[in-house]
Amino acid sequence: MPFPVWLLIAFAFFYFAFIFWQYANTPLRPFTVRIKGENPENPDSDEEKKAMVNNIQEDIQGYIKAANDVMTTRFRIGAMGFVIAGLTAIVSIFLS
């Protein structure tokens, strides 16, 4: 009786480990800014606007890179935890 239950639980844990590992390998996409239309009457304001947008874009890119690094680590740790839980469920099959 416990054999199919432990096998089902082990399968679920290994499935979650696979999903978490896939999440770890899928980073957030880079942030891009699209500036629509330039102002022909005041070209200086366009340069100022582009410089300001580039600074903001660099800050956001740094945040996204940091978030990607943290999420990758957390998802991989979670995947390893699910692998350990799956192995524990398989060992429990033989102990019961």
Say what the pLDDT of residue 1 is: 56
Residue 45 placed within a domain: no
CA 23 from chain centre, in angstroms, equals 5
Say what the pLDDT of residue 44 is: 61
Structural domains in the chain (count): 1
| Residue 45: exposure state from Cβ atoms within 10 A (0-12, 13-18, ≥19) | exposed
Per-residue pLDDT of the chain (96 residues; tens, 9 = 90+): 588 899 999 999 999 999 999 999 999 898 887 766 666 666 666 677 788 888 999 999 999 999 999 999 999 999 999 999 999 999 998 887
Q: Show the domain range for 66.
A: 2-32+56-95
Residue 49 placed within a domain: no
Residue 44 placed within a domain: no
pTM of the model: 0.75
Residue 14 placed within a domain: yes
